Copies of this chain bind each other. A is one copy, B any other.
Amino acid sequence: MIMEIDIQIVNNIDTTSVYQRLSHCKSGGICVFIGSVRDSTQNEKVEALDFETYEKMALKEMEIIAKEAGTKWKLNKVILHHVHGRKEIEEPVVMVGASSAHRDACFEACRFLIDTLKIRVPIWKKEFFTNKTVWVTEHP
């Protein structure tokens, strides 16, 4: 069984194509997680986020994560897309997903993808508040 992997670091995430990217004739289930910019964090008003990436390494780590998911679950397709640059409220910043024959595998894999991405992929988020900017130095 060959698993297809689609990994990207982009200016803007194309959420409209997510089904086309993950649908597969042997998949009955597709699970997608999209992270987006919230208007506040710990009760402070957020104006925007800015993502810096170590792109070469980030792509490599995202591929390692995709392949690790493929060894843990029987998946047909996996995507990991992350943005770089400044993003405003409600804009998508990360989109991960997996497709599989049954839904257990795609749900578990999708959760693994986002959890592991947040721990391991060299991407840094700066929060813009009204009067200051802060590098988030702990994944939430």
Contact = CB atoms under 8 A, between A and B. Distances in A.
Nearest to A92: B19
A24 interface: yes
A112 to B, nearest CB: 11
A139 to B, nearest CB: 11
A30 interface: yes
Interface stretch (A65-73, A100-108, A129-137): A100-108
Given A16-B19, A102-B140, A111-B107, A32 B32 contact: yes
A75 interface: no
A90 B23 contact: yes
A31 B33 contact: yes
A104 B34 CA distance: 13
Given A18-B15, A18-B18, A25-B89, A30 B31 contact: no
Interface string A93-133: 00000000111001100110010000000000000000000
Contacts of A35: 28-30, 103
